[in-house]
Structure 1
Amino acid sequence: MDELAPPRPLSQRAKANRDRIYTAAIELIRERGYGAVTMTDIAKAAGVARASVFNHFPAKLAFLGEWFERFTRAVLHEASQQTGNSAWTRLCFVLEALARGAEANKDIIVHVASLAMGHGPLAATEAELDDELQLYFARIIRDGQASGEIDRDIDVDFLADMWVGLLTVTAHDWVNRGQTSDLGAELKARFKTLFRGIEK
């Protein structure tokens, strides 16, 4: 059986339409809340046919998935420029950047956190981004081992998975408590406790 051909890149016009639909959807979700927004509302706000919305985003959850993907990848891109610093400094950079972004987007994060578990495209996006975070954390750990900052006997993949889990649990705790505490401070405190156990 022949392999499926990769999807053709969007034309400039189609990309502009997709971006307009995405922007309209996120603005509506911020204003009204996820549950109060329909695909018809999004089409009207974007000035496109309802079918056009479904062509680009087959499910409403896909808007949250794309927002979360853009947010996480932007943080990881910025964090990847922080070379030459200690493992702890690099870890703190990514934790602080994620916390700042979450604090600035509480109205979206609350929906991402509450709907990600077991919900098709959003759960798949979260799993994919967890894998990217795991790879980034593993790079920090390996560099820390190479510099003598982190114990060389530590299993890199296991520790990176633990860091992803701790990040996820802390973020969900923060959302479940009403997003009123300082997420950045909580992340650094919890990670510092774990980091003390692996320092050389």
Structure 2
Amino acid sequence: MDELAPPRLLSQRAKANRDRIYTAAIELIRERGYDEVTMTDIAKGAGVARASVFNHFPAKLAVLGEWFERFTRQVLREAGQQTGNSAWARLVFVLEAMGRGAHANKDIIIHVASLAMGHGPLAATEAELDDELQLFFADIIRHGQREGEIDPGLDVDFLADMWVGLLTVTAHDWVNRGQVSDLSSDLKSRFQTLFRGIEK
């Protein structure tokens, strides 16, 4: 069985149940740490039968996968509302939101980062989210080209891929260095260095 299989279409009641289980799991992981939380703990925290937890999340890993998806997509939804701003301002919004979210969820990020590396069990989830980030960054770049902020001769897809790679590498570096620096500042500093090189 695929531990990260996407959820099937759910009734309103089943969706509410899944959300309750997810919320309980994330709260417990934040309190105790990922390794200390069991599926039984999650069931008790959510007030449901243990079988119900496994029905929605076949493994604890699936909870991390869903957190990763929800976190990234929430940032992109909020950033998508910044359409009137400059390309740089829109980019900074994404970087600051990613940094704040990572700092607020340090223990979760450690596990997500390690499980997403290489051929880890969250690598496919990271690849899917990277595709969404690539499309989002490409939209920002096109906006910047139209507004004269970014050289219109640059290949949008290549540049967006570079931005995704820079985001990923910076986040993994931050985890590997012990999460002691400010990730938002790290991201903005690195992206600004790259952005200066592509300004029109």
Q: Same fold (TM over 0.5)?
A: yes
> 2:134 and 2:170 mapped to 1: Cα distance?
16
> 1:161 and 1:190 mapped to 2: Cα distance?
15
Alpha-carbon shift at residue 90 of structure 1 (Å): 1.0
SS across alignment from 1:178: coil
Of residues 99-108 and 36-45 in structure 1, the stretch that sits farther from structure 2 once superposed is 36-45
Aligned-pair Cα RMSD in Å: 1.4
Q: Letter of the aligned partner of 2:164 in structure 1?
A: V
Q: Is the 8 A contact 2:87 2:140 kept in 1?
A: yes
SS across alignment from 1:149: coil
Question: For structure 1, which runs of at least 5 residues remain unmatched after alignment?
Answer: 1-6
Of residues 103-112 and 126-135 in structure 1, the stretch that sits farther from structure 2 once superposed is 103-112
Change (3 A) 1:181 1:13: same
> 2:157 and 2:8 mapped to 1: Cα distance?
35
> 2:144 and 2:134 mapped to 1: Cα distance?
15
Match of 1:167 in 2: 167
> 1:12 and 1:95 mapped to 2: Cα distance?
34
Match of 1:119 in 2: 120
Match of 2:3 in 1: none
Q: Letter of the aligned partner of 2:109 in structure 1?
A: I
Give CA-to-partner distance per residue, 1:97-152, whole Å, 9 cap, x none. 111111112121122112222233x2222111111110000001111111121111
* Count of paired positions: 193
Match of 1:81 in 2: 81
> 1:8 and 1:170 mapped to 2: Cα distance?
34
Question: For structure 2, which runs of at least 5 residues remain unmatched after alignment?
Answer: 1-6
Match of 1:71 in 2: 71
Match of 2:20 in 1: 20
Overall identity of the aligned pairs, in %: 84
Alpha-carbon shift at residue 184 of structure 1 (Å): 0.9
Alpha-carbon shift at residue 193 of structure 1 (Å): 0.7
